């Protein structure tokens, strides 16, 4: 589960970097009917915000999973009265 989440996070991180570093005004392309630079920037910002929110949510999900797993391991160690390191091996 965490490996799949990590792969998705890497993809989304790359997309976020791409959105943050792209040119908003491209001098080589002049489209008469295309969006203005301001409209294009607003579209990119909306897409970027969506990726950032999803990225943050997935990070929190993975962090919660790790915390719960650690807590369950600790709880099992206390119940079984074994040192924590014995449960890991």
Q: Over the stretch 71-81, which tens digit does the pLDDT of each residue have?
A: 888 787 778 77
What distance lies between CA 7 and its chain's CA centroid? 10
Select from 8, 3, 2, 21 the least CA-distant residue to 51: 8
Q: Determine phi and psi for 6, rounding to 5 degrees.
A: -65, -40
* Count of C-beta atoms within a 10 Å radius of residue 51: 16
* pLDDT at 89 exceeding the cut of 60: no
Choose between 35 and 28: higher pLDDT: 35
Say if residue 24's pLDDT is above 60.
Answer: yes
pLDDT at 10: 92
* pLDDT for 17 beyond 90: yes
Give ∠ CA 43-49-52 in degrees, rounded to 5: 140
Using the predicted structure, report yes or no on whether residue 85 has a pLDDT greater than 60. Answer: yes
Please tell me the least confidently modeled range out of 29-33, 42-46, 48-52.
Answer: 29-33
């Amino acid at each position: 589960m965490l490996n799949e989440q990590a792969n998705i996070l890497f993809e989304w991180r790359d997309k976020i970097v791409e959105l943050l570093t792209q040119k908003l005004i491209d001098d080589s392309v002049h489209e008469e009917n295309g969006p203005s630079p301001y409209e294009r920037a607003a579209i990119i910002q909306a897409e970027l915000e969506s990726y950032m929110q999803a990225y943050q949510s997935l990070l929190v999900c993975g962090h919660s999973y790790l915390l719960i797993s650690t807590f369950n391991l600790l709880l099992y160690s206390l119940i079984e009265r074994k040192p924590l390191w014995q449960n890991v091996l």
